[in-house]
Structure formats: structure tokens, C-alpha cells
Amino acid sequence: MTHVPARPGGRPTTRARLRATLVAAAAGVAALGTTLALAPGASAATTLGASAAQTGRYFGTAVAANKLSDATYVGILNREFTMVTPENEMKWDATEPTQGQFTYANADRIVNHARANGMRVRGHALAWHSQQPGWAQNLSGPALRSAMVNHVTQVATYYRGKIHSWDVVNEAFADGGTGARRDSNLQRTGNDWIEVAFRAARAADPTAKLCYNDYNTDGQNAKSNAVYAMVQDFKARGVPIDCVGFQSHFNSASPVPADYQANLQRFANLGVDVQITELDIEGSGSAQADNYGRVVRACLAVSRCTGITVWGIRDTDSWRASGTPLLFDGSGNKKPAYTATLDALNAGGPTTPPTTTPPPTTPPPSTPPPGGASCTASVSLDSWTGGFVATVRVTAGASAVSGWTVGLTLPAGAAVTNSWNAQPSGTSGSLTFRNLSYNGQLGAGASTTFGFQGTGVGPSATPTCSAS
Ligand code: G3I
């Protein structure tokens, strides 16, 4: 795949826009096909975060601290998203404006908001040639190297335990066909600066996933090949790297590559998770919507593609607002791109009728069957500091059931923030989750799943299950 390697923000030409529209229209036919696969009568998840969670993924957004006082912005953020990336507040110029003096107030506002609302945080970015404070721009050689290591160490230590993933190094490769490293003051400290940053980050926060993040690496090209070779080399030599972020800033000059999914997959095959980290797609209407659907389907098709983050909430929040590249318009209304994204996420989730495949293992029934309908439930948790996603599997006993209720208790301080495929009785303490209209009936031995997301610590005991 060859495409014009555009620096994020490059303006599209009219012809390129037309070409992208045609490509997108073709993709839209595929999108329709996927949507039609939804089970008849199924009530799909109604928010991006809940729909992504159905397949164990997150759906995130970049957040700017100065917008946390905007009620419309915060309303959408809290309703829709399960991961947050500070857009600028964790960068070197923001966190260490004077050498050795660290300021975290704005980044903390975002981290605290996320944690209070059950969202995870992607740290962005520890080492980058851009947005360096003036004092670092004026350093070179060993002085810059040691300042960089100190910066990585201090920031990752400060946020230790609060970060799901760190963009440890951002945009270290050059555009164009050379596959070379980008020239920068950091690069001139020696070719090993990237692995040194990763080792420092691991030492400072052993619990965070450590990612390399870049743009124009979304399809197979000289730049992504060079990143691929670096990741392969890091894995071979034991340099700590867990994930690769694909920024995915698209427009007509830099469209969604035809081999997007294949490229994500080849990185995943190296033994790293992959994530879409800064998604925005310039355009409008059905063409834009179709492209968003394509991106989501590519991620869902790669099991190690663990989440998608859009680079802002409303078009007016975008770093390239004139391209209207996001999922909500300036007033906070959902755009066709939103609907396409949600539909594509739901098409990958448990939207089909209950299967008749018995689960591999089920705990003994916690509510003995009174000679008739019975069920069991088991819960699997994806937890992080401050939050969790619980996936609950409900399995019918020896007889078919026409309805089920699962009971479980959340530890003190924990609360449900959203749920899917079941009706909860409340948000904290002892809770029941009842089947919805489309998933109450289960054949003998058949199972279905529902889930919920929450703040605090998830449930630990085996849930009860009663059937009718
Ligand atoms: O906060 C100041 C404000 O006080 C001042 O009046 C104004 C005047 O220009 O500037 C404001 O700072 C701007 C900042 O965004 C906050 O809005 C900076 O000038 C501007 O350069 C900065 O742009 C950010 C850009 O990174 C810088 O490289 C964008 O918001 C941010 O979305 C963008 O994000 C990057 C990712 O980190 C890496 N990948 C590409 C992506 C898009 O460029």
C-alpha cells in the first residue's frame, strides 16, 4: 500500500477527497453487511465504552484539562468512554517546564476525573522530539540523555499504579521511504535512546504496559516496516515493550489503508498488543461514517487490538477542527460516524441469540434447582487500579430456562457505572442482574453473557443464579 505520508494535519486535495469518498462508499456496503448480522430483536449496547467492553476492549478519547468544566463535554465523556489520554498535559513541556521541577496539576485533573468515573488512563508521552520544554531543546549529548532518563523515571514513578499504558516513545521514525529514525536531539544522543527510555519506564512502573506510538505507520510502508523491525529486535533482546500504538489520523491525503488490519495483525504476531491511539478521520456524512466503521472492524478482527481511542470528543475539540474529524458535532450531537462506530462495535459483541454450546467449565449451582429450571453464573474480571469490567456467563442447567437473575455483591466503595445485556437492580452493594427480553431463554446447558463496568474493586465471590 502506498499513500502520501502526511504529517498529521496535512490538508487534503479536492481530488483526494473524492477518491476517499469513493473508497469509503465501497466500504459502506461492507459495513451494512456487518450490521445486518445483528440478532433480530437484540438490544445492543448503547454507548461506545459498553459496546467495546462486550469484546473486552476499551473505547477512549483524548481529554484536555481545560474542558473539564464544560458540562456538555464532561457529560459525553462520562457516558461514552472507558479510557482517557491527556491530550497535552503529560508531555515534557507540561510536566517539567523547568529542569527538575515537575508540575502535575493539569494532568492530575484528568487522571483524577478518569479514576473517579471508572475510566483507565493512557499516559502520553514520556519521550518525544516535540513539545519539549525550552531547556531540554537546548541540551544535547549526555546531558540530554540523562535529563530524558530522569524525566521518564520521575513522571512514570509519580503516576505508578494509575496508568494502563504509557506511550513511552512517540514518533521516533522519519516519514518517507527511508525507514530511518527521525533526526532529533534525542536521536543524536545515540541510537539506543528508545530502549533506554523503555527500560527506565519499566523500572519506574512495572505495572503499566509500555508502548511505542507513531503516525503514518497504519499500513505497511517503509516507516511501519522500520518500527516493525525495532519491535522484533526489542522482543528478541528482551527490551521491555508491550504494545504499539497506531495514531490513525486519516484524511483524503492519508486515507485508511487497505491493509490496515493486516498491518495491525503483523505487529500483534510479534507478541505485542496493538491499539488505535489517536483516531480521527476528516470528512462528513456517510463517507466519514463508513471509514470509522472500517477502522473499528479492523481492530475487532485482531484479537490483540485491545482498544480504540479517538483524538477528542466534539469536532470543535479537535486539533484540526476544520476537518470535522470526530464522532460528535460542535454541539455534542452524535454524527453518522458515531452510529457507524457503535454499530461496528456491537456487531463484534454478544448480540446474537444465546448459543447452545456448553461452557468449558462451570461452578456448581449456587442456587439448587427446585426440581426444574436452574442456572449457574461465573464472572471474569478485567481489573485495573480504580476500576474493572466484569463479564458474567450465565449457563442453564439440565432443563431449558425462560428467565434468569444473577446475584452478586460489590465490595464497599465499588459502584457500577454502566452495564450491558442485563438489567441491574442498583449500582452498589448487593445487586441483582435480570435478563433482558432477548436473552432470558436458554436451552438446557446453553449460556449467554452480560457485563458491567465499575469503579473500585470488582466482585470476587461466585455469583448466585436463579432461573424460572
Ligand atoms: O495552551 C496554549 C495557549 O495558552 C496558547 O494561547 C495557545 C496559542 O497557540 O497555544 C496553546 O497551546 C497549544 C496546545 O495544543 C493546547 O491547545 C499549542 O500551541 C499547540 O501546539 C498544541 O497542539 C497540540 C499538538 O499535539 C502539539 O504537537 C494538540 O493540541 C494535540 O492534539 C497534538 O497531539 C498530537 C499528539 O500528541 C501526537 N500525535 C499527533 C497529535 C496531533 O498533532
Please state the atom number of ligand 1 nearest to the C-alpha of residue 247: 39
Share of the chain above pLDDT 90, in %: 76
Assign a CATH topology to domain 48-348.
TIM Barrel (3.20.20)
Ligand 1 center from residue 29 Cα (angstroms): 37
Cβ contact 219:176 at 8 Å: no
- pLDDT higher than threshold 50 for residue 19: no
407 CA from centroid of ligand 1 (Å): 47
pLDDT at residue 277, rounded to an integer: 98
With a cut of 70, say whether residue 354 has pLDDT above it: no
The amino acid sitting at 461 is A
Specify the higher pLDDT residue, 341 or 385.
341
Q: What local confidence, expressed as pLDDT, does residue 107 receive? A: 98
Give ligand 1 pocket residues (Cβ under 6 A).
8, 87-88, 130-131, 170, 215, 247, 278, 319
* Per-residue 3-state assignment (H helix, E strand, C coil) for the chain: CCCCCCCCCCCCCHHHHHHHHHHHHHHHHHHHHHHCCCCCCCCCCCCHHHHHHCCCCEEEEEECHHHCCCHHHHHHHHHHCCEEEECCCCCHHHHCCECCECCCHHHHHHHHHHHHCCCEEEEEEEEECCCCCHHHHCCCHHHHHHHHHHHHHHHHHHCCCCCCEEEEEECCECCCCCCCECCCCCHHHCCCHHHHHHHHHHHHCCCCEEEEEECCCCCCCHHHHHHHHHHHHHHHHCCCCCEEEECCEEECCECCCCCHHHHHHHHHCCCCEEEEEEEEECCCHHHHHHHHHHHHHHHHCCCCEEEEEECCCEHHHCCCHHHCCCCECCCCCECHHHHHHHHHHHHCCCCCCCECCCCCCCCCCCCCCCCCCCEEEEEEEEEECCEEEEEEEEEECCCCECCEEEEEECCCCCEEEEEECCEECCCCCEEEEECCCCCCCECCCCEEEEEEEEECCCCCCCCEEEEC
Angle, CA 421 vertex, CA 163 and CA 286 arms, to 5°: 75
Q: Can you give the residue ranges of every domain in the chain?
A: 48-348, 375-467
Q: Whose CA is nearest to atom 2 of ligand 1?
A: 88
Which is nearest to 172 in space by CA: 191, 200, 155, 150?
191
pLDDT at position 452 is 85
What cell numbers appear for 326 in the block? 470526530
The whole-number average pLDDT for the span 12-30 is 33
CA-170 nearest atom, ligand 1 = 38
- In the structure, what pLDDT confidence band is assigned to residue 43 with cuts at 50, 70 and 90? low
Which is it for the CA torsion 325, 326, 327, 328, positive or negative? negative
CA distance 159 to 101: 16
Closest protein CA for atom 22 of ligand 1: 88
C-alpha torsion angle, residues 205, 209, 215, 218 (rounded to 10): 170
Q: List pLDDT tens digits, range 291-317.
A: 999 999 999 999 999 999 999 999 999
| Pocket perturbation via mutation, ligand 1, pick of 11, 87, 90, 91 by most ligand atoms within 8 A of CB | 87
* Average pLDDT rounded to a whole number, residues 426-437: 92
Query: Cβ distance 217 to 246 under 8 Å?
Result: yes
Residue 1 has pLDDT above 80, yes or no: no
Asked whether the beta carbons of 398 and 445 are under 8 A apart, the reply is: yes
Q: What is the mean pLDDT of residues 146-150?
A: 98
Q: Is 375-467 a domain of CATH 2.40.50.140?
A: no
Is the pLDDT confidence value at 131 over 80?
yes
Calculate the average pLDDT of the chain: 88
Q: In angstroms, rounded to a whole number, what is the distance separating the alpha carbons of residues 121 and 60?
A: 9
What one-letter code names the amino acid at 281? I
Cα 330 to ligand 1 centroid, rounded to whole Å: 19
Q: Which residues are catalytic?
A: 278
Ligand 1, residues 88, 137, 182: which to mutate, most atoms within 8 A of Cβ? 88
- Is it the case that residue 322 has pLDDT exceeding 90? yes
Per-residue confidence band for 211, with pLDDT thresholds at 50, 70 and 90: very high
CA gap 83, 382 in Å, rounded? 14
Residue closest via CA to ligand 1's atom 35 equals: 87
- Among 48-62, 117-131, 375-389, whose mean pLDDT is lowest? 375-389
Give the model's pLDDT for residue 87. 98
Q: How far is the CA of 88 from the centre of ligand 1 (A)?
A: 7
* Residue 17 scores a pLDDT above 80: no
Residue owning the nearest CA to atom 34 of ligand 1: 87
245 CA distance to ligand 1 middle (Å) = 19
CA distance 123 to 89: 10
Q: pLDDT tens digits for 217-276?
A: 999 999 999 999 999 999 999 999 999 999 999 999 999 999 999 999 999 999 999 999
C-alpha grid cell for residue 449?
A: 453473557
Shared fold status for 48-348 and 375-467: no
Q: Can you tell me the distance from the alpha carbon of 355 to that of 396, in angstroms, rounded to the nearest whole number?
A: 11
Q: Is the pLDDT of residue 160 over 50?
A: yes
Query: In testing the pocket of ligand 1, which one of 317, 319, 326 has its CB within 8 Å of the most ligand atoms?
Result: 319
**What's the confidence (pLDDT) of residue 383?**
79
Check pLDDT > 60 for residue 361: no
- Distance (angstroms) between ligand 1 centre and the Cα of 400 equals 58
In the predicted model, what is the mean pLDDT of residues 190-196?
98
pLDDT digits 0-9 by tens, 63-105: 999 999 999 999 999 999 999 999 999 999 999 999 999 999 9
| Closest residue by CA, ligand 1 atom 14 | 88
